[in-house]
Amino acid sequence: MPSTNSWLSIRQDFPILDQQVNGHPLIYLDNAATAQKPRAVLDCLDHYYERDNSNVHRGLHELSNRATTAYEGARERLAAYIGAEAGEIIFTRGTTESINLVARTWGDAHVGEGDIILLTEMEHHSNLVPWQLLAKRKGASLRFVPVTPDGLLDLSNIDELLAGPVKIFSFVHISNSLGTINPAAELCARARLAGVTTLVDAAQSSGHLPLDVRELGCDFLAFSGHKMCGPTGIGILWGRKDILAAMEPFHGGGEMIASVGFTESEFKPAPYRFEAGTPAIAQAIGLGAAAEYIDGIGRAAIFDHDQALARQAVDLLEEIPGLRILGPRHDRGGLVAFVLKDAHAHDIVSMADQYGLALRGGHHCTQPLLRKLGVPASARASFYFYNTPEEVEQMAAIVRKIQTFFA
Ligand code: PMP
C-alpha cells in the first residue's frame, strides 16, 4: 500500500487537479461519473496522434502497422487486466454499448416469449433499458432482486428468483447510487447452478478493485474506460470464448467481415465480428495505458484507499443534522450518496461548486431505485486514489455550511 507521501506524489500525475475553481482549489469528487486522466494516458494519446496515427488492420505501411500493433497490444493489456484472453475482449464505446450488444445479439438469439430476464432493483439505466427493449421485442418479462432499505440486495430467495424460464441474470458489481458491493462471484455461482447466463456491470469496479473473470465466474463483463483513467468513447465487453463464438454480429460494416457478396457476407470470428467500422483506435490505446498505470499502483491498494475515504466521509457526513446517507453504512465502494432535509440535490451541488467542490446530484441514472427509496434525487461524492483525507474533510465542512443555509 503506497504511503501518504506516495499517494500525494501519484496525485501529481494528474495535471487537471492543480487548478482553482470559483476561487478555490478544485476538489474533484465526481469520479463515479468520470475519472481524471494521468499524464501517462495523455502522453500516450499525444504520442499516438503525433507519431502513429493511421487506420488499423487494413494497411500495409509502417504507420498502419504501428497503429495496429498498439491497438492489438491494448487488447492484450486489457485481457491481462481481467484475467482473460485477448480474443475475448471486444472494444465498445463503453458499458452502455457493451450491454446493448449482448441484449441485441445474445439476447435476440436466446430470449423468447415467456422467458424472464433477471436484474436487480439497483441497476443503472444502461443495465435496465436494453433489457426492457429486448423483453418488448421478444414478449419476455423482467424480474428483479429486491433492494433492502439499507441498500443491500435481498438474497433470501435468490434461488427462487433464478428458477423458471430465467435466461440471463445481469447485475451491477458496485452500485453507482448506493456504493453497495454486490457478492458477484457468489451470484454468478448461484446462477450457474440454475443454468442461467450472467452479465456483470463492472462500470464502477473495473478501476477500483482487482477483477478476474475466471474467479468471478461470469459469462459477460462490461466496463467503461473513462471511469478508470482512460479516454471517453471506449469500453470493454468481455465474453466467454464459446459464447462469443456462437453469437451473431451486432453492427455490420467494414472490419468485421471475412468476405462480402452483393446479397450475403461471411464474418470474422470474435472479437472482430463485433467491431464494425474504424474503431476508437487512440482511445483503445489510451485505455491500455490506463490499465498499465492503474496496475502500477495496484488495485488492492486503490480499493483500500477509496474505502477508507468513503468511511471517513460517512463518519463526517452522518453528524450533519437532517442528512441521510443512502446505502450500506461502511462496507461500501468509494462513494457516498446523501440527501439533506429540505434541500434539493441540485441546489447542494450548485452551492458546492461555488467552493470549488465537484459533486454530482440527481437520480444517477437509477430512477426506479430512488423512487423505491422515496427520494427524488441525491448528492454524491465519489472518490479515487488521487483524493485525500483533507479533501474529504473539506467536502464535509462545505456540506455542513450548505446545511445551515437550509436549516
Ligand atoms: N453502469 C454503472 C454502474 C455506471 O455507473 C455507469 C456510468 N454512470 C454505467 C453503467 C454506464 O456507463 P457509460 O455511460 O460509460 O456507458
Q: Taking phi first (over 0 means left), then psi (-120 to 50 degrees means alpha), and beta for anything else, what does residue 356 get?
A: left
* Residue 388 within any structural domain of the chain: yes
Which pLDDT tens digit goes with each residue over 313-347? 999 999 999 999 999 987 899 999 999 998 999 99
Asked if residue 283 has its Cβ within 6 Å of ligand 1, the reply is no
Which pLDDT tens digit goes with each residue over 39-77? 999 999 999 999 999 999 877 899 999 999 999 999 999
**Same domain, residue pair 63 and 136:** yes
* 264 alpha-carbon distance from chain centroid: 36
Q: Which three cell numbers stand for residue 3?
A: 504511503
Nearest CA to ligand 1 atom 8: 33
Quick one: which atom of ligand 1 is closest to the CA of 94? 16
| Terminal Cα-to-Cα distance of the chain (whole angstroms) | 41
**Same domain, residue pair 98 and 16:** no
* pTM confidence score: 0.98
Query: Across all residues in the chain, what is the average pLDDT?
Result: 97
Asked if residue 224 has its Cβ within 6 Å of ligand 1, the reply is yes
**Same domain, residue pair 313 and 187:** no
* Residue 118 within any structural domain of the chain: yes
**Same domain, residue pair 139 and 173:** yes
Q: Which three cell numbers stand for residue 345?
A: 440535490
**Considering 296, 316, 343, which residue would you say is the last residue of a domain?**
296
Mutate to test the pocket of ligand 1, among 176, 199, 223 (most ligand atoms within 8 A of CB): 176
Q: Taking phi first (over 0 means left), then psi (-120 to 50 degrees means alpha), and beta for anything else, what does residue 255 get?
A: left
Q: Which three cell numbers stand for residue 33?
A: 461519473
Domain of residue 144, CATH code: 3.40.640.10
Count of domains observed in the chain: 2
Asked if residue 123 has its Cβ within 6 Å of ligand 1, the reply is no
Residues spanned by the domain of 25: 4-30+299-406
Cα separation of 287 and 81, whole Å?
11
